[in-house]
Structure 1
């Protein structure tokens, strides 16, 4: 039997994470943490829901690390949105290009919201490589620029060659990443694989099995919901945070 290539070993590692996390899904399925509650469109109702102890536990997943290159916004912002996303997901692209910029201008720039990215690379090898490449971009302080470049060039069909490593490197240059040799090395590094695996493990272990998905101070939102849904949940979370001070 021929030895496994490094690529095959990485694929096996990702599969192992998914299998292990599936056990977690069975454990928490009963609490339905990602059930879409349309009552959240009401800020008062959402504020009550934010006091749910389950959401308080999920809120602990926010890292609030000032040195996290895959986050934007103040580490001590009253509201943290953890975003689980895949660069080949069309609904993730809708959120990233249509909704997120409005949240950034209205809430992140005002110091109200912090956004923390998690790569839930679940759509195959090009998703995994894109996630590693995004991590590599972050090592040079260009994650969000590269994030925009990836979504601007996201393919209509998954795993058809849009995110080859050569193409990912081209996009890195377009995103202003200064050291492309370092970028290539970081992309292929065990550290990149470990970081992406950790994000996948975290997401799947709490029941996130589709993208995009969000935790806003622990309150789940599934899918690229309308802007108003995010605004209502953020405002409710801000009010809850202020009331608890």
Structure 2
């Protein structure tokens, strides 16, 4: 019985014009689905527009590649990145003029993360790029090694103020503290957080190279992606 019904259906599908039309529509729909998957897959690999204006960075203005790190000052993996992976990036790409390196905040661990990020933004706004990076590096170096402190409030206002005094004068520190307490750096922090959410950042450190997220595992993977980005940039000029 089952076999005869299948044969009957087959006969109808090859002789009935309506059935042919349905088959044609289904086929066309399938092709559209496949093309759509290909299109969106390629689209996801394209550069995502990021506004780099007003962001702290290291490197030459003329560098063709923009590297962005989304980080959290309380994140132990970010500390490790800053101490081990970043020096390789600095030597290979920043110092050679191949890339600019930007830092943007994705503060997600606890209130310390937000406080440190907004304080660092105030440092950048009030004292400029050079002092920001000195403070940035010093802050990571002062992150406790023991991960049991990760959820505790370590980066208090007094701690951040004392840390800044190691790279800035008392007068400069007072300017930063005033700006921080008046929430003058909050907008800059919110801008970073907005971009992190827009780009789908879910952890730190997360890296983007010319707007594309780095998903490799090794420095060689990173190097290859930077070189490919530089090549694409040159070909588009």
TM-score interval for Structure 1 and Structure 2 normalised by the shorter chain: 0.7 to 0.9
CA RMSD of aligned residues (A): 2.1
Q: 2:130 matched to 1:131?
A: no
Q: Partners in 2 of 1:192 and 1:211 — Cα distance?
A: 21
Q: 2:174 matched to 1:185?
A: no
Deviations 1:156-190 (A, max 9, x none): 32242321110011110113356111111122232
Aligned residue for 2:142?
A: 153
Aligned residue for 2:157?
A: 165
How many residue pairs match? The answer is: 190
Query: Does the 8 Å CA contact 1:212/1:222 hold for their aligned counterparts?
Result: no
Q: Partners in 1 of 2:231 and 2:162 — Cα distance?
A: 44
Query: Does the 8 Å CA contact 2:55/2:104 hold for their aligned counterparts?
Result: no
Name which of structure 1's ranges 137-146 and 227-236 shifts more when overlaid on structure 2.
227-236
Task: Flag the structure with more relative contact order, 1 or 2, with Cα contacts below 8 A and sequence separation at least 6.
Answer: 1
Q: 1:89 to 1:243 in 2, by over 3 A?
A: same
Q: 2:196 matched to 1:203?
A: yes
**Residue 62 (structure 1) shift:** 4.7
Which structure's CA Rg is the greater one? 2
Q: Partners in 1 of 2:169 and 2:208 — Cα distance?
A: 29
**Residue 104 (structure 1) shift:** 1.3
Q: Partners in 2 of 1:162 and 1:228 — Cα distance?
A: 35
Deviations 1:171-213 (A, max 9, x none): 1011335611111112223221121111111101221111111
5+ residue gaps in structure 1? 1-50
Aligned residue for 2:67, secondary structure, equals: strand
**Residue 69 (structure 1) shift:** 5.5
| Larger proportion of helix | 2
Query: Does the 8 Å CA contact 2:55/2:103 hold for their aligned counterparts?
Result: no
Q: 1:110 to 1:212 in 2, by over 3 A?
A: same
Match of 1:229 among 198, 203, 221: 221
Query: Does the 8 Å CA contact 2:122/2:184 hold for their aligned counterparts?
Result: no
Aligned residue for 1:217?
A: 210
Aligned residue for 1:83, secondary structure, equals: strand
